[in-house]
Structure 1
């Protein structure tokens, strides 16, 4: 029996059946009943979300939180790059306009920790009147704990969703050209070029080409060459492996990608794949739902989901993660924490997973057979999720100036797509960024 969600009432939620059915979650009745959800009724909180499938899920079910708690939520989604800029400006002022912030750990973790912008949630998590009993450290995957906790073991946010990068592929286009799904980088290039027919308007590969957004694509390829971008505080971005990754990126994006790809972020890549004119799209597993939506997609039933191919040095599923936290400058920290707890609850995690919008960090969601029965995405999607977890590696460096890193390397990659020499560009960008990294670590 698959899980069907129903509209929650406070009584149902407290009974542990708000969305998942009494059979699928055990132990929630006493846990949720112990929390004083109405403690801050009448409060209004401001929530700053990243525009993403995760943000969509939170806004879609926001009224349930408001009914449960009596807390009014004003939530706004902003595209990720603008959201990060807005966050830095407001948090630096010490008086942000928002109480809750959606965090891209792979970009913002070190920066937020060093600046002290997030409230320590550890005391709230230990308070049984604020935290339901099943919300424990042991229920989070290790990657989530690594992202959420600082070097002193304090929680500067709650782990929300992990995102593995995969290859989406069009089975119809592959079959028409007699191409098999690539298992290696070499096969990836060959497949992309065989699938490309520019006269027919068909292209073999698409990935982010826009400055800053393009850096994770190249960094993902670096993992396949057995290198990370920064190791032990030292840049490896001008290493032979880095240059080979840049050459691979250049070849794919110039020989097999649609025109105008230097202006593509994930949304443009997704749109081109939805039209059925692209053979492969490389990006996060959480962007899958529209591909299976007949109202949005021309490729319903034709989409394949594949683990990142193996590079010369390793097979690695590039891994990113986000969380949700309370700002240190908020005067409504407890109310904001209740929202964060609801956002990463088992109920909301099930919705995230079942819709294909993301992958919760909570083991109790991923290991619940009843929740897994309700996953609406194809079985192949769930299989790739499981296989990617086995070869997961963090993609971007956990450093303070990661936005500047993405900008500097992103310019180099844009130049590479334009025909510049990959070795010269990676060496130039590395020299430009090195003093920025050294100052940040001082």
Structure 2
């Protein structure tokens, strides 16, 4: 009898071990490449909930600084290396890579509710009506400012203030002796970094990247006026070392109370108004982006989105993850877990219609207004042949914008004049466009 029981126990243990081994072997590991922004980091923290609901899928994360991420995913997808099953990309890459057949179409079937995604965000991630990336969060740009400092200086802020007024407010609140700088702006080189901001500013001065014949226009008077204004503004009233600052550096400065103003992504609003992160959370005001001669293209339109490369061997698992991370249910999960002011925004109409979000997010109205005002199809005062607000949606732009970003960052750091920087950038752009056969 004892031997019978012993054998039965041994058989049960062996079968259990075999089941565990089979389950382990059957588990699919997907690698997700993403940017080191706050909402993405929160997604990583919540991923065990996805894995619990999908025990056959294990998620591995590769988290990178923005510029490095762009390089890595571009190289990976162009070479069809298959290093990543899900990659964080944006409105620039999604339609271009979708057209080239480099991305899987996103599965928007069933209860995913594609119609709930804000039209401008949905269209920007699509090619011929098919979505090739799904938005994790969407954004435009706007002014975030210290109401207490502006009021103490006897100044005021309004939607669509002139750039001259922004300069005057920056001068009035600038007090380096107390560690307070009038304005914080991006300076770090990159087509999606300093040039995202710089292009919107240049747009408002009447500039454009290319004329109707695709000839680069970086040496135009409009570009020279805009970049000179930017360099003078940041060097007079910005923090030291601004040529190295990107989104995260400026966010840290603002949350420490060191910026009178910050013009950047609307997604920052949830961070600067969070008392757990920001020392000035109760003093933040919002305004629509400044203008010079036109409102066209004065604020950008972007989405960090999740795309699936065709080289992946784990399509089904990748689709499940993308659908989960960009769903209404995920937004509900973040709201219930961290509070409704902390949810990823700029993607779904249902978020802005939610009374809990409206109550928690003091920035909701300003953010949605900025997103809805951005028009990638009409972003320049003079006619231009490209789609995009802070970029031109052509494959060559990544190299062109990167070089321009390096030149403008150099001018900000004082290593060359603005005229020389723009001359260098225009020459490089012209060479790139000639080689690509645009003229």
**Normalized against structure 1, the TM-score is what?**
0.80
1:262 maps onto 2:243 in alignment:
yes
- TM-superposition CA deviations, 1:166-221 (whole Å, max 9, x none): 11111222122222115211100111112222333321011111122211221110
**Offset at 1:318?**
1.8
- Counterpart selection for 2:121 from 123, 128, 144: 144
CA-based RMSD: 2.6
Q: Distance in 2 between matches of 1:109 and 1:435?
A: 25
Q: Distance in 2 between matches of 1:399 and 1:261?
A: 29
Match of 1:166, SS state, is strand
| Residue of structure 1 equivalent to 2:209 | 229
Query: CA contact under 8 A between 2:112 and 2:327: conserved in structure 1?
Result: no
Matches within 5 A, 1:121-132: 121=106, 124-125=107-108, 131-132=109-110
Q: Distance in 1 between matches of 2:299 and 2:90?
A: 18
Query: CA contact under 8 A between 2:272 and 2:284: conserved in structure 1?
Result: yes
1:314 maps onto 2:295 in alignment:
yes
Match of 1:359, SS state, is coil
1:208 maps onto 2:186 in alignment:
yes
| Residue of structure 2 equivalent to 1:333 | 315
Change (3 A) 1:383 1:362: closer
Match of 2:282, SS state, is coil
Query: CA contact under 8 A between 2:95 and 2:125: conserved in structure 1?
Result: no
Matches within 5 A, 1:58-77: 58-70=43-55, 71-77=57-63
1:431 maps onto 2:388 in alignment:
no
Question: Structure 2: where are the runs of 5+ without partners?
Answer: 1-24, 376-388
Query: CA contact under 8 A between 1:196 and 1:202: conserved in structure 2?
Result: yes
Query: CA contact under 8 A between 1:288 and 1:357: conserved in structure 2?
Result: no
- Counterpart selection for 2:169 from 182, 191, 194: 191
Change (3 A) 1:290 1:154: closer
Matches within 5 A, 1:7-406: 42-70=27-55, 71-106=57-92, 108-109=93-94, 112-113=97-98, 115-121=100-106, 124-125=107-108, 131-136=109-114, 138-150=115-127, 152-181=128-157, 183-212=161-190, 213-230=193-210, 233-314=214-295, 316-350=298-332, 351=334, 354-356=340-342, 358-366=344-352, 368-373=353-358, 376-377=360-361, 379=362, 381-393=363-375, 394-406=389-401
| Residue of structure 1 equivalent to 2:410 | 415
Question: Structure 1: where are the runs of 5+ without partners?
Answer: 1-39, 126-130
Query: CA contact under 8 A between 2:112 and 2:323: conserved in structure 1?
Result: no
- TM-superposition CA deviations, 1:223-261 (whole Å, max 9, x none): 212444346544333322222211221121111111111
Query: CA contact under 8 A between 2:30 and 2:314: conserved in structure 1?
Result: yes
Q: How many aligned positions are there? A: 390
Query: CA contact under 8 A between 2:162 and 2:291: conserved in structure 1?
Result: yes
Query: CA contact under 8 A between 1:53 and 1:358: conserved in structure 2?
Result: no
